């Protein structure tokens, strides 16, 4: 592996990792709301969360660009408060990946929260546990496997993110050029085939590892938790 | 002082009416399945609220329809300190037996941990996971968990079902002890006439 190749892999892992870690609390809160909440507009929220799954990624990237542009609602706020911009930066790539991974993460987490036996939470309440303790000591541990599986799935999705990223933050080598973008760039080169082969191989291996990890976590959970 | 309950509630399509006059000792709720016995226990434990009436246990009001609903119309379940033994054990599957037993433990509680564990014959189960327990073992752990939370009163939903004869006898003796020595108000649901007559200070049909 050349330093250049390492750089690309490292950047991809960094972008994917930051995207998933940043997305995790948001995804969990949304999953919780959708699983347990009763409020008007729930269907609409559900639809909005799933939008990145069905809208063309280019459109998602373009919308992000509008929002984070210096004149955009979020971009101008970031600029005036923190003096930063995420355009053409790896942080922007992480945001694009997070948005694209969000629906998958919410789905997995929502299912696992819905699968928690409410009767156990009732039992905890009669034993004196208030809401937060019930959540921390019963609901969260019992839904944790789904949360982890969702995070790994989101990470795999983030590693493969292409359309929204290239539209939003372009393909800047060393800054926003993650594995898929690097593969695309290499494909444009007259003698890039060897590079494409290497990058594609790494990409497949990483995704496969993430998927296997997600599957293992889910299976382990299935075996471990039998509710009487 | 014991259970003073007069409630009307609705669960699904069934209307539930229950009236229990305050008498010391153990009250048995007796009736056919589907008559809402478990729902009455759930209302007294604070898991669901009745629509009308009042619930008082050992002199403390837990629910009263005359209370302003915006001003804590009902004491929340965690504060009621009900020792509730559900029909199913409802042990926490991610905690070992020991952690299950101590989940609701309060400092300075009336019952001694070791004594309770010995009484229920579950000392050898402490390091096991709930999924490895038999039905009878899980039930005894569930009873222990409720007792160790230092309850002000006990709600027992068919505590003797799925136990073998010997264990049944032991648990009945334990319940009698709690009734006569610890003097906990106990409300128990059962199908079994014999159990009801042996343990109940009085029997309320529903």
Domains of chain A, by residue range, sit at 3-55+90-223
pLDDT for A225 equals: 44
Distance CA A140, CA A112 (A): 10
Residue A224's pLDDT band (cuts 50, 70, 90) = very low
Distance CA A81, CA B86 (A): 55
Burial per residue of A42-54, b for 16 or more beta-carbon CB atoms within 10 angstroms, e otherwise:
eeeebeebeebee
The upper half-sphere exposure of residue A21, i.e. CA atoms within 13 Å in the direction of its Cβ, equals: 7
List A residues 84-143 in contact with B (Cβ-Cβ < 8 A): 119-120, 122-130, 137-138, 141-142
Taking CB atoms and an 8 Å cutoff, what residues of chain B touch A128?
78-79, 81, 104, 106, 149
Low-confidence ranges of chain B (pLDDT < 70): 1, 68-73, 108-110
When CB atoms are compared, the residue of B77, B88, B146 closest to A228 is B88
Helix (H, G, I), strand (E, B) or coil at B124: helix
Q: Report CB contact under 8 Å: A228, B146.
A: no
pLDDT for A228 equals: 31
Q: Compute the mean pLDDT over every residue in chain A, rounded to the nearest whole number.
A: 90
When CB atoms are compared, the residue of A120, A128, A228 closest to B149 is A128
Taking CB atoms and an 8 Å cutoff, what residues of chain B touch A127?
78, 103-104, 145-146, 149
Tell me what ipTM this predicted complex has.
0.91
Q: Are A87 and A75 in contact (CB under 8 A)?
A: yes
Q: Are B169 and B175 in contact (CB under 8 A)?
A: no
Nearest chain A CA: its distance from B78 CA (Å): 4
Q: Are B73 and B63 in contact (CB under 8 A)?
A: yes
Q: Does B96 contact chain A (CB < 8 Å)?
A: no
pLDDT for A35 equals: 94
The upper half-sphere exposure of residue B70, i.e. CA atoms within 13 Å in the direction of its Cβ, equals: 0
In Å, how far from its chain's centre is CA B33?
Answer: 18
State the best of A119, A120, A128 to mutate against chain B, taking most chain B CBs within 10 Å: A128
Q: Report CB contact under 8 Å: A128, B89.
A: no
pLDDT for B72 equals: 58
pLDDT at A222 over 80: no
Q: Report CB contact under 8 Å: B93, A227.
A: yes
pLDDT for B170 equals: 82
pLDDT for A62 equals: 96
Mean pLDDT of A177-199: 92
Q: Does A223 contact chain B (CB < 8 Å)?
A: no
Q: Report CB contact under 8 Å: B94, A128.
A: no
Q: Does B78 contact chain A (CB < 8 Å)?
A: yes
Looking at the structure, give the CATH architecture of the domain made up of residues A3-55+90-223: Orthogonal Bundle (1.10)
Helical residues (DSSP H) of chain A, grouped into ranges:
3-36, 42-54, 57-68, 73-82, 90-114, 118-126, 131-134, 140-159, 163-169, 179-188, 193-224
Q: Are A176 and A150 in contact (CB under 8 A)?
A: no
pLDDT for A226 equals: 37
| Residue with token string 């979020």 | A74
Q: Are B7 and B53 in contact (CB under 8 A)?
A: yes
When CB atoms are compared, the residue of B46, B84, B138 closest to A228 is B138
pLDDT for B107 equals: 72
Nearest chain A residue to B78 by CA: give it. A128
**What is this structure's pTM?**
0.84
Q: Apex CA B43: angle with CA B38 and CA B47, to 5°?
A: 95
């Amino acid at each position: 592996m050349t330093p250049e190749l390492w750089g690309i892999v490292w950047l991809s892992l960094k972008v994917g990792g930051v995207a998933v870690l940043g997305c995790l609390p948001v995804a969990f809160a949304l999953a919780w709301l959708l699983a347990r909440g009763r409020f008007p507009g729930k269907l609409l929220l559900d639809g909005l969360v799933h939008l990145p799954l069905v809208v063309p990624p280019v459109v998602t990237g373009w919308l992000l660009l509008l929002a984070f542009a210096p004149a955009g609602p979020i971009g101008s706020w970031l600029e005036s408060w923190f003096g930063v911009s995420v355009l053409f930066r790896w942080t922007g790539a992480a945001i694009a990946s997070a948005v694209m991974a969000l629906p998958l993460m919410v789905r997995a987490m929502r299912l696992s929260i819905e699968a928690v036996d409410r009767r156990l939470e009732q039992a905890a309440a009669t034993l004196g546990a208030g809401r937060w303790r019930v959540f921390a000591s019963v609901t969260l541990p019992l839904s944790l496997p789904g949360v982890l599986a969702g995070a790994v799935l989101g990470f795999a999705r983030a590693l493969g993110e292409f359309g929204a990223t290239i539209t939003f933050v372009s393909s800047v080598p060393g800054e926003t050029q993650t594995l898929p973008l690097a593969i695309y760039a290499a494909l444009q080169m007259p003698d890039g085939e060897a590079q494409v082969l290497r990058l594609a191989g790494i990409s497949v291996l990483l995704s496969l590892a993430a998927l296997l990890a997600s599957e293992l976590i889910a299976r382990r959970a299935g075996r471990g938790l039998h509710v009487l | 002082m014991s259970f003073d309950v007069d409630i009307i509630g609705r669960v699904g399509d069934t209307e539930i009416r229950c009236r229990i006059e305050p008498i010391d000792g153990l009250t048995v709720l007796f009736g056919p399945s589907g008559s809402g016995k478990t729902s009455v226990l759930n209302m007294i434990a604070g898991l669901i609220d009745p629509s009308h009436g009042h619930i008082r246990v050992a002199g403390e009001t837990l629910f009263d329809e005359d209370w302003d609903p915006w001003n804590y119309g009902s004491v929340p379940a965690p504060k009621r300190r009900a020792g509730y033994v559900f029909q199913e054990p409802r042990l926490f599957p991610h905690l070992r037996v020991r952690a299950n037993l101590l989940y609701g433990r309060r400092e300075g509680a009336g019952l001694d941990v070791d004594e309770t564990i010995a009484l229920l014959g579950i000392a050898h189960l402490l390091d096991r996971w709930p999924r490895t327990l038999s039905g009878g073992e899980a039930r005894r752990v569930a009873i222990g968990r409720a007792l160790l939370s230092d309850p002000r009163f006990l709600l027992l939903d068919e505590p003797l079902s799925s136990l073998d004869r010997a264990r049944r006898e032991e648990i009945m003796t334990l319940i009698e002890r709690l009734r006569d020595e610890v003097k906990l108000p106990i409300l128990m649901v059962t199908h079994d006439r014999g159990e009801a007559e042996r343990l109940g200070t009085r029997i309320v049909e529903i």
